Amino acid sequence: MKNVPFILPLLICTILFAGCVQKNVIDDVNIATGVGVDKSGDQMLASIMIPVFKPDKSFGNFTFTAKGNVIRDLLSEMQKKASQPIVGGSLDLAFFGEDVAREGIIKILDVFLRDPSVGSRVQLAVVDGKANDIFEGKYGDRGNAAYLTQLIKHNMKGENLPLTNLHRFLATFYQKGQDPYLPLLKKINSHLVTITGIALFKDEKVVDILSENKMFYFKLLVDKHTMGSVEVKDKHGESTVKSIKSKNKIRLTKRNPYEFAVTIKINGFLTEHQDRTLKKGEIHKIEKQLEKQVAQECTKMIKDFQKKEIDPVGFGHIAKTRTRNFDFNKWQESYKSAQFKVTADVKIIEFGVVE
């Protein structure tokens, strides 16, 4: 009983603070799971996707829309149309039409950043077309938000899409020496959406689109694979290497002019081969061909980034961390003439029944 004088004030404070927390009953609010922003003439078209829970336990979707020039006013306009308050505590997605993304998205994101109920793991994406069109589809049996969120997460974990979300985008944007990137989505039909590439930014604006067939090599440079796949083509025939695990290491080897060494290590399983059997020593030839293929494609990609004056890999940040009194103004010119040596080390650790 000697602890009562200490415990009693603590209990009183807990009760008082609990009474200060704003509470929402789920049946009395509209839960926003996705926000989309498109261009509509000279104005913006904002969309908010709301899940609808039906009596038979199935899911539906409803979308509020509003047009205007200021995002915060558009959100207020949608609140006027809603019979119940629209809340963003379960926001999973923020999509931007490509025309909006090419003009800049930071002012739009700033609205969400000032809302403490919005988490940093919101999935961002650029849409080939209109974000509102994607929200109007009917995907799967768990609702549009679940389908679209899992589409992005699945491709980050098991395919060739690098890890992205609101937190990573903003960290890259505000960090000097690296430009951000986001997945590019496209609606195929009313029941399917696909990832068609990666939108590359210069500061806050999309300036280029990386095609789908380049995503494997891009992920090798900016992230690591836990799973993935790539086709290997040479005079011995076509092969497919899957279940890839990769990691990279980038070193600054010289200054004035700048030179970088990029080392990529890959472990994978051979799952397909044009011939029914593999001849002796052919696994080694496939490894060497994939090493050559990775080095060539990654080098070509980096040179293309230099020409377009974008740096999604973050070579500028690496140079800054390894150079005393680093000057970013001078780096803009140095980056254009920097040299890059890409090498790959490929190990095929299993080749199944094709041996």
- The answer, yes or no, to whether residue 19 has pLDDT greater than 60, is no
Strand pairing category for 237-254 and 339-350: unpaired
Q: Residue 275: its pLDDT value, please?
A: 62
Residue 5 banded pLDDT, cuts 50, 70, 90? low
Which one-letter DSSP state was computed for residue 222?
H
Q: Residue 12: its pLDDT value, please?
A: 43
- The answer, yes or no, to whether residue 259 has pLDDT greater than 70, is yes
- The H helix count followed by the E strand count for the chain is 11, 14
| 36, containing H or E segment | strand 34-40
- Give the separation between CA 136 and CA 125, rounded to whole angstroms: 16
Looking at residue 139, its amino acid is Y
Tokens for 6, please give them: 């200490």
In a 13 Å sphere around the CA of 114, the CA atoms on its Cβ side amount to 8
What does the mean pLDDT of the chain come to?
85
pLDDT tens, residue by residue, 22-75: 444 445 687 888 999 999 988 999 999 988 877 776 677 888 889 988 877 888
- Give the separation between CA 139 and CA 168, rounded to whole angstroms: 27
Reply yes or no: is the peptide bond before residue 257 cis, omega within 30 of 0. yes
pLDDT tens, residue by residue, 292-335: 999 999 999 999 999 999 999 999 999 999 998 899 989 989 99
Q: Residue 236: its pLDDT value, please?
A: 58
Give me the percent of the chain exceeding a pLDDT of 90.
53
- What is the mean pLDDT of the segment spanning 92-114? 90
Residue 267 banded pLDDT, cuts 50, 70, 90? very high
Q: Residue 227: its pLDDT value, please?
A: 83
- Give the separation between CA 72 and CA 56, rounded to whole angstroms: 36
pTM for the predicted model, two decimal places: 0.86
Give domain limits for the chain: 24-222, 224-355
- The answer, yes or no, to whether residue 204 has pLDDT greater than 80, is yes
Strand pairing category for 30-31 and 34-40: unpaired
Phi-psi region of 88 (alpha: psi -120 to 50; beta: other; left: phi over 0): alpha
- Give the separation between CA 169 and CA 172, rounded to whole angstroms: 5
- Give the separation between CA 328 and CA 300, rounded to whole angstroms: 24
- The answer, yes or no, to whether residue 268 has pLDDT greater than 80, is yes
Q: Could you give the angle at the alpha carbon of 324 between the alpha carbons of 323 and 325, nearest 5°?
A: 115
Q: Residue 102: its pLDDT value, please?
A: 96
Q: Residue 228: its pLDDT value, please?
A: 81
Residue 10 to residues 1, 20, 94, 238, Cα–Cα distance (Å):
15, 16, 41, 70
Residue 335, phi then psi, degrees to nearest 5: -60, -35
The DSSP bridge partners found for residue 82 are none
- Multiple choice CATH, 224-355, 3.30.360.10, 1.10.3720.10, 3.30.300.210, 3.40.920.10: 3.30.300.210
Tokens for 353, please give them: 């029944």
